[in-house]
Amino acid sequence: MTKTIEMDCIPFTGNQKEDQNFWDLLEKRNILLNVLNWHGPGGGNPVVQFTGTDEDLRYMLAEIFYADEDDMAMYMEEK
């Protein structure tokens, strides 16, 4: 079953290898990215939706965004 989460950032570092790791992870984990707003309210960062399985989204949050338990619960909309 797929799930969609929304974030107001994309982790581009300017380092080609690190940025490619982000795209590779999305492809490997079959996570779709949809840009909702290229210049969002969070400091001008894009507002994006990520769609994938619960497991794959949690993996992305941990590996790319270094989400802790509180961040994970917020993004995954857990109470």
**Domains held by the chain: number:** 1
List, for residues 17-30, the tens digit of each pLDDT value: 878 888 999 999 99
Domain encompassing residue 69? 2-75
What's the pTM? 0.86
CATH number of the domain that 16 lies in?
Answer: 3.30.1370
Helix ranges, the chain (H): 16-28, 54-63, 69-75
List, for residues 27-70, the tens digit of each pLDDT value: 999 999 999 988 888 777 888 999 999 999 999 999 988 999 99
